[in-house]
Structure 1
Amino acid sequence: MNSPDTLVTSRPKRIFPKTTGLTALWRHRQTLRVLVQRDLAVKYQKTVMGYFWSLLEPMGLATIYWFVFGVVMQVGARGDSALEHVDYSLYIVSGIFAWMWASSAISEATTCLTSQSSLITTMKVPREVFPVARVVARFAEFLAGIPIIVIFALLGRGISAGTFGWNLLLLFPAVALQAVLLTGLAFILASLNVLYRDVQRFMRLVTRILFYAVPSIYPLALVLKSDNLPEWAKSIYLANPFVVIVEIHHEAWIPGLNNLTWQMITTSVAISVFLLFFGRWMFHRLEPMVLKEL
């Protein structure tokens, strides 16, 4: 029989899963579905227009930027030559809806743990479900906006410009890549914000800067062909994976842009996948401290 002096008590070592948690998410897909439905229901409860609010904001922004950049500044007329054959409003609407998914997902995923602390500490589910649920919920709002983009294409010159062709298949890689990037960022920001509440305030500024740092309302060609920007500034700009993602969204609706290179796409994919794995690893490492703080 071992004496008390020989007994060693230690906390079991936490082992990082070799996957990104997709298996666990699949096992708890019903919980994920319920969280997404709950998020959408709570967000629009006691409102007359309901889910229409998810369309009103991007449509309002698109109208404002179309007037400022398209009518007043004539950006579409002196930007990428491909925009001469398509209404500039279609370019802005497709970019705005793509960016609103990113912006709202980043903002709400950052606070998803602190705003649901009692639920997180009582439910026996992988905590990764909560930030992922915010990304999926905002994706549902993005899907609701696709008919609006189709209407803009039909009312404009989308049919004659070849909008409704094989190029629409680019929406699938655009959505997949954006989901990977947003999920990785959600893991990182959600866990860090529990420990440092400055993160949510800082991200408000970052998302505003990022909005103008991606070609959602102006043609990417204006940046690529600009003589006022040094090459190192262009390299930093193109290192932002959101630039490629938003441009793929544009190319899905507007064929003929051809501003992307395989190097740009590969860089964006590599950064997005890295952030997914790194975010999952960071979430796993910080989880004990996060739960203690909650």
Structure 2
Amino acid sequence: MVKKTLPFYTCKPRSRLSLAPLADLWHYRNLLWVFVKRDLKVRYRYTMLGGLWSIIQPLSMMLIFSLVFSHIFHVQTAGVPYPIFSYAALIIWQSVSRMLTQGGTSLNDYGPMLSKVYFPRMLVPLAIILGACVDFVIASTILLGMIVFYGISLSLTILWVPLILLGIFCLTMGLTLWVSALDVQFRDIRAALPFLLQVWMFATPLMYPVTIIPQRLHTLYYLNPLVTYVELFRWALLGGQIPTLPHIFTATFLSIVFLISGLLFFNKIEGTIVDRI
């Protein structure tokens, strides 16, 4: 009788620079879409207006900003109607804020599931990020309607919009991975996050143009990558002045740094997430 040889496996620690986490994400891509649909359904299940909230929130903020900054303080926006000037930035900020707020605490929210079933832990914050992208697409329909309403002529610069959104996606994904990984280690993160986001919001030209910032502070001001991305998004759709190449390179570089470092740090602590939740 021939003795059957059992398969032999060798367990090796995963390198921090390994591409295995990305391969796992692709292998579990169907589960990712399940998580995205679950996130959207849970968020809007018991609401009367459903996905319309992704439009109502930036619209209401636009009306408030228009009243305060346009009619009271008379902020000048280089000929661009103030409502569309602010709304174009607000739909970006709403998406970024939601990704960080909900994606940053998502691992703890999925705690019971993480302790029972294995799947790449990165799927959880990534599902929140993709769900926020759906909200952005819905809110963008109003932006296109406003462009038609105000008679703004689109030019070939609109072709840069996908690259601009890709840069914002890389920046926000990297930050979300950092926040979600730190949140399972330090509960102070979720307490400090709303305050930090509020500071970041006022440090980003959502309701005011960059021109009101003194020239001597521009070097420091443009260390916020979202400043460049918001200005680029307005330039691509509404025209106006484009940020300088050094500012664009700085934003791109910082986005790549946050993304790569976020992937590496998340990969480092992934094996201990369940123990810390």
Alignment TM-score > 0.5, same fold:
yes
The one of 263, 269, 276 equivalent to 1:280 is 263
User: Does the CA contact (< 8 Å) of 1:20 and 1:277 recur in 2?
Assistant: no
* Contact 1:184–1:280, Cα closer than 8 Å, also in 2: yes
Question: Which segment drifts farther, 202-211 or 18-27?
Answer: 18-27
The residue type equivalent to 2:202 in the other structure is Y
Q: 1:161-193 deviations in whole A, cap 9, x for unaligned?
A: x2x221222210111001101111111100110
Aligned to 1:189, which of 179, 201, 205? 179
Matches within 5 A, 1:94-109: 94-109=88-103
The two structures have a TM-score, normalised by structure 1, of 0.86
Give the AA of the match of 1:64.
I
Which of 156, 169, 177 matches 1:166?
Answer: 156
Residues 100 and 186 (structure 1), Cα distance of their counterparts in 2 relative to 1, 3 Å cut: same
**1:3 is matched with which residue?**
none
Q: What is the CA–CA distance in structure 2 between the aligned matches of 1:157 and 1:257, rounded to whole Å?
A: 19
Partner SS, residue 239 of structure 2: coil
Q: How far, CA to CA, are the matches of 2:86 and 2:198 in structure 1?
A: 17
Residue of structure 2 in register with 1:266 after alignment: 249
Quote the residue 1:4 is aligned against. Answer: none
SS of equivalent residue, structure 2 residue 204: coil
TM-score when normalising by structure 2: 0.91
Kept in 1, the 8 Å contact 2:234–2:240? The answer is no
The SS at the match of 2:106 is coil
Q: Does 1:151 align with 2:145?
A: yes
| In 2: Cα distance, 1:91 partner to 1:123 partner | 46
Q: Per-residue displacement from partner, 1:93-150 (whole Å, max 9, x unpaired)?
A: 1000011111111101111000110112223221111111111111110010111001
CA contact (8 A) 1:180 1:276 kept: yes
Q: Which runs of 4+ in 1 moved over 4 A?
A: none
Q: Which moved more, 1:129-138 or 1:248-257?
A: 248-257
Q: How does 1:183-222 map to 2 (within 5 A)?
A: 183-222=173-212
Instruction: Compute the displacement of 1:222 (Å).
Output: 2.0
Unaligned runs of 5+ in 2: 1-10
1:56 deviates by 0.7
Structure 1 residues 217 and 56: alpha-carbon distance in aligned structure 2, compared to 1, 3 A threshold: same
Alignment partners' CA distance in 2, 1:21 and 1:168: 34
RMSD: 1.6
Q: Is the 8 A contact 2:96 2:172 kept in 1?
A: yes
1:186 maps to amino acid: T
C-alpha contact 2:21 2:267 (8 A) present in aligned 1: no
SS at match of 1:195: coil
Paired residues of 2:125 and 2:177 also in contact (CA < 8 A):
yes
For residue 116 of structure 2, the aligned residue among 109, 119, 122 is: 122
- The offset of 1:20, in angstroms, is 8.7
